[in-house]
């Protein structure tokens, strides 16, 4: 879930009947059927990636759209090189809409992120926790420990424990609380421990207290920005329809309106990644050189969590093989 503090569109239009039927058709009846199909889709079939020497990255977000927003570009770039990327939503997103909720919405959102994962070339998993009710329990911590271990992760991504949504903050705490523990054999003894504590990194955010977001690395996603925007566009419940803060006025009534709304959403997402590039231009410069950095338009950036293994610059370069 992303906080539309600058809403991507907010003219409250009445929804004509014709458009409604299309909405209805989209609105989860078809997707529901998909959602109830066996889980053995290619994206979710294998819990552990092949031991093929490729990188193994696992990213956690609170809702089915958070990982995609924060690391969708770099995830696509990793996947294009054959690295193994898994995006995990710690809640099922079941209150992330202004008109729908509960299990049907959870199914719709899972179907959406599965479609996005196909576009990104990544794996995806959605945990069945109620949206808006996430707590840093031992059960949740252990679920995360198991996922990191099963993925044999080299790199683990998460939000910081300070962000606007309580689910985001508690996702940050849960992943912190899994750091190091993934190496301790006799917690969750049924899953083999990792030999080394992975690198843990945070996504960036705009919050300043108690301390601001300070990424050590920023990556240009200019090459894949269209694919990222395509992947996000699939999540209509969150973006086209506006998620928890949307309203009927956002729903397009015809093809023209729909095209306009789709563009509005894409522009909003693009602007977000432009903002990251601008805010962390100096970090880009450290990695790309000042001149190249000045030409980068879209970026994603990551900050080292002190509770994982501490990488030096060489190891960061190995983890982000894009230079």
Interacting positions 116-135 with a copy of itself (CB under 8 A):
126, 128, 130-133, 135
30-69 positions binding a copy of itself, by CB under 8 A: 35-36, 38-39, 48, 62-63, 65-66, 69
Whichever of 247 and 279 has its CB closer to a copy of itself, that residue is 247
Determine, following the binding rule CB under 8 A, whether residue 264 of this chain makes contact with a copy of itself: yes
Q: Give the contacts of 93 (CB within 8 A, at least 6 positions apart).
A: 1, 63, 64, 65, 105, 106, 109, 126, 131
To a copy of itself, the closest distance from the beta carbon of 218 in angstroms equals 18
Residue 11 within binding range of a copy of itself, rule CB under 8 A: yes
Residue with smaller CB distance to a copy of itself, 175 or 296: 175
Least distance between a copy of itself and beta carbon 98 (Å): 6
How many residues would you count in the chain?
Answer: 323
Q: CA-to-CA distance for 305 and 171, rounded, in angstroms?
A: 14
- From the list 17, 291, 312, 314, which residue makes contact with a copy of itself (rule: CB under 8 A)? 17
| Strand segments (E) across the chain | 56-61, 84-89, 123-126, 155-158, 199-203, 217-220, 299-304
Number of residues in contact with a copy of itself under rule CB under 8 A: 107
Q: How far is the CB of 236 from a copy of itself (least distance, A)?
A: 12
With CB under 8 A as the contact rule, the residue among 42, 45, 184, 290 that binds a copy of itself is 184
- Of 78, 42, 46, 38, the C-alpha closest to 59 is 78
Q: Which of 86, 81, 97, 91 is nearest to 155 (CA)?
A: 86
Q: How far is 39 from 92, CA to CA, in rounded Å?
A: 15
Per CB under 8 A, does 199 bind a copy of itself?
Answer: no
- Angle (CA) 77-82-83 rounded to 5° is 75
Copy the structure tokens of residue 91: 């809640």
138 scored as a contact of a copy of itself (CB under 8 A): yes
- 319's CB contacts (< 8 A; 6+ apart) are 55, 57, 154, 155, 199, 311
Query: Is 152 among the residues that bind a copy of itself (CB under 8 A)?
Result: no
Asked if 159 is part of the footprint of a copy of itself (rule: CB under 8 A), the reply reads no
Q: In the window 273-302, what residues touch a copy of itself (CB under 8 A)?
A: none
Segment 208 to 227, residues that bind a copy of itself, using CB under 8 A: 208-211
Closest approach of a copy of itself to the CB of residue 132, in Å: 4
Site residues for a copy of itself, window 78-107 (CB under 8 A)?
92-107
Pick 65 or 293: Cβ nearer a copy of itself: 65
The nearest distance, CB 54 to a copy of itself, in angstroms, is 18
Torsion (CA) 254, 259, 264, 266 in degrees, nearest 10:
140
- Position 112 contacts a copy of itself (CB under 8 A): no
Distance between CA atoms of 56 and 297, rounded to whole angstroms?
Answer: 27
Q: Which of 50, 80, 192, 255 binds a copy of itself (CB under 8 A)?
A: 192
Shortest CB 146 distance to a copy of itself, Å: 8
In terms of CB distance, is 89 or 293 closer to a copy of itself? Answer: 89
From residue 72, alpha-carbon distances to 123, 124, 317 in Å are 12, 12, 19
DSSP string of 198-213?
PEEEEEP-S--SSS--
Pick 225 or 293: Cβ nearer a copy of itself: 225
């Amino acid at each position: 879930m992303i906080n539309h503090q600058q809403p991507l569109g907010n003219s409250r239009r009445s929804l004509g009947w014709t458009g409604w039927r299309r909405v209805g058709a989209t609105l989860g009846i078809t997707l529901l059927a998909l959602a109830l199909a066996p889980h053995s889709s290619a994206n979710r079939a294998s819990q552990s990636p092949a031991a093929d020497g490729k990188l193994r990255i696992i990213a956690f977000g609170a809702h089915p759209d958070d990982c995609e927003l924060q690391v969708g570009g770099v995830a696509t770039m990793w996947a294009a090189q054959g690295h193994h990327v898994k995006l995990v939503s710690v809640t099922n997103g079941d209150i992330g809409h202004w008109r729908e909720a509960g299990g049907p919405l959870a199914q719709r959102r899972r179907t959406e992120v599965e479609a996005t994962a196909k576009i990104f070339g990544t794996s995806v998993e959605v945990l069945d926790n109620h949206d808006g009710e996430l707590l840093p329990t031992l059960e949740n911590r252990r679920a995360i420990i198991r996922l990191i271990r099963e993925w044999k992760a080299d790199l683990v991504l998460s939000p910081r424990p300070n962000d606007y949504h309580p689910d985001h903050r508690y996702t940050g705490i849960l992943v912190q609380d899994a750091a190091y523990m993934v190496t301790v054999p006799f917690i969750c003894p049924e899953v083999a421990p990792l030999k080394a504590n992975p690198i843990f990194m945070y996504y960036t955010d705009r919050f300043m207290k108690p301390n601001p977001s300070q990424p050590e690395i920023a990556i240009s996603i200019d090459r894949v920005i269209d694919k990222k925007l395509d992947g996000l566009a699939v999540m209509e419940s969150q973006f086209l329809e506006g998620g928890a803060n949307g309203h009927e006025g956002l729903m397009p009534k015809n093809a023209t309106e729909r095209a306009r709304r789709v563009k509005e959403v894409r522009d909003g997402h693009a602007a977000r990644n432009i903002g990251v590039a601008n805010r962390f231009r100096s970090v880009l410069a450290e990695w790309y050189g000042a001149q190249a950095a000045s030409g980068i338009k879209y970026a994603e950036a990551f900050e080292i969590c002190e509770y994982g293994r501490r990488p030096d610059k060489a190891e960061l370069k190995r983890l982000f093989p894009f230079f």
